[in-house]
Amino acid sequence: MALVLAVDTSRSVDNKEYSLQMAGLAAAFRDPSVQYAITTAAPRGLAVTLVQWSAVDEQVQVVPWTLLQSFEDIDRLAGRISSAPRAMTGGKTALGEAMAHSVGLIRDLGFIARRNVIDISGDGGSNEGRLPQETRELAREAGIVINGIAILNEEPRLDHYFRSDVITGSGAFIITATDYVDFARAIRMKLLREIMGTPIARAEEEEPRHIE
């Protein structure tokens, strides 16, 4: 599986909330259940990249594509995430642009993945740039699944917006976090469901560059 982790760093996210996001992501990858899932359900590797996003022209790939095949790989990724600097502060919430940028990263990936997934998290609806309903069609046409984490501290009904306007693809789902402290639990549950919860088609042995 190829997985884009796209996290909101717009002006609605203060520095403490940003730190909680990075700490929550790192903690999820250090969690024994997630590490077990990666090393057993994705024996050929899980490719992961981390994107921070905000306004129309503000999407930064802060951790490049990283192939996880061992516990050591996973621990190194967690360290890179926990120390990732904030690439931008302020800015509006261009959710659709973040989705389109993430689709582009998967299209440019040097691996052929059995599953392509975008994890997009945020605490508010889009207020700038292309509409999420428009850009999610790019993902659907490319066979990419978009799942969401709706952080409800700013907009208590954000999960309904994510469900109607953001997620797409076979088995797409959302998980809610009550606030940024709860984000660590939400991302851990989301990773487990993405890695373990979807049946994987059998790959042909003559395609050695495939990953799961």
Structural domain spans, the chain: 2-197
Q: Which of 6, 39, 22, 76 is nearest to 195 (CA)?
A: 39
DSSP letter for 81, please.
Answer: H
pLDDT in tens, 189-200: 999 999 986 543
CA-derived radius of gyration, the chain: 16
DSSP letter for 180, please.
Answer: S
Per-chain mean pLDDT for the chain: 90
pLDDT in tens, 34-54: 999 999 987 788 999 999 999
**pLDDT above 50 for 137:** yes
Q: Which of 176 and 112 is assigned the larger pLDDT?
A: 176
DSSP3 helix / strand / coil % (the chain, rounded to 5): 40, 25, 40
CATH number, domain 2-197: 3.40.50.410
pTM beyond 0.75: yes
DSSP letter for 184, please.
Answer: H
pLDDT in tens, 63-81: 999 999 999 999 999 999 9
